[in-house]
Each structure stands twice: as structure tokens, then as C-alpha cells.
Chains A and B, each alone.
Chain A
Amino acid sequence: MEKQKRPVFLNLWQIRFPITAIMSILHRLTGVLLFLAIPFFIYALQASLYSESGFQTVIHYADSALIKITLLFLTWSLLHHLLAGVRYLLLDIDLGIERQQAKLTAWLVIILALGLLLVFAGACL
């Protein structure tokens, strides 16, 4: 394929970010984080299924502060990624496509993800 010389500017330190862009970059960032977290969850699944003691170990580790904080961070990642993803699916079918609506829903995604995280944190800690 022939290389097209179209202007591409992706320097993250120089682009000015509207709220929709912040929501979008968080969607990517959380996606990459969740991608990297996959083996840890599979490992926990393995340990929890192979033996009684493994099952207890997973529960024991899930109770430690460091793991809890990590899990809450990943929970936020999942919440943000999921909500932003739903927003994109709705945009795909032309819902919320107007600029004002798009800005509003971007705020909604960010705030709702943090709000739900607080609910989870309150339930877990």
C-alpha cells in the first residue's frame, strides 16, 4: 500500500484535551491495563480451582490491603472502560452524537465510573 502524506499529530504532551479526549485516552489506558492484568486473573482462577488450599490462598490474598487497592484500581479501570465502551456503542448507532451531548456523556462516564468505584470501595473496605 502506498504511504499517504496526511498530517498526523499524536504528541500527547502538546495536544490540548477536551473532556471527550480525556475520556477517550482513559478508555485506551484502562484497556491496556486490563490487558496486562489478564494473566494475574487467570492465575488466580487456576489456584482457586486446583485445590482447597489454593482456593483459601486466593481468598486470603484478596483480603490483603495491597491487593485490595490494586483490585479497586482495576475495578475503576473496568468501570471506566465499560462505561466509555457503552458510550461508543451508542455513538455507533448515532445516539449522543451532538457535540454538547457528547461532552455531557463524557463527563457522565468519568463521574459515574468514579462514583461506582466509591460504592464498591465502600462495600469492600
Chain B
Amino acid sequence: MLFRPNPSSGVPIYLQLMEQVKHGIETGALRPGEQLPGIRPLAEELVINPNTVAKAYRELEHEGVIELRHGAGAFVSGQAREKKLTDRLRAGQTIVAAAVERLHARGVTDEEIRRLFEAELAGLSRSGGERG
């Protein structure tokens, strides 16, 4: 599993890490029960603040994506939750795919679609609903 946050993107690094863990689970790169790198080694490898890694792990645990076992480290949550998460994401992916197809049909480019999504998400995040 490869984590690659971009510190200067303007998006909080802990959110980027959270997304990358979820994406890893979605793609199967991370399996239920699998252990995630420890906070120290990951901070050192990515050269980012250990508090940032700890925050990402705490939030992921809060969302039920991973489990923090005292002294043992962080593990991807068990099958049931993982499946639920995957189903939800798969449903979302279908919706996104349809939307992207319609936008393409109208001649909207990939880059424009990306900007539209970002604008929409940035717009939503202000209402404070979906931020951990």
C-alpha cells in the first residue's frame, strides 16, 4: 500500500491520508484485518508530522474504517463493515459514472469535470456536515 499525500495542495494532509486508506480498501490493496503502518514509521516515511498520521487514524477509527488496538497498531476493520463501505462506494461510483458520461456527452472535459466536483465538494464542506 502506497500513501502519497501532497502537503501543498491546500487539502488537509490527514484528510488526504484518510482518502488514500479508504481508496486502498476499495481497490483491495488493503484487506480486512490487514495491519496499517505504525504512526512513527509512516510519519518518517512520508516526512510528515506524526500528529497528522495519528489524527487520520483516529478519524478513520471513528468512521469504523480501521481499528486501533492498544499496543498492536492499526488494522483494517472486519468484513461486515468493509463490505458495507464497499457497497456504498460502489453505488456512489455508479452514480458518478453516469454523471461523468452525461457530462462527456455535453462536451465537458475531464479537467472541467474535476473542477466541477471540487467546487461542489468545497461548497458542501462549508455547511460542516461531512467533515469527520
The answer to whether A and B belong to the same complex is: no
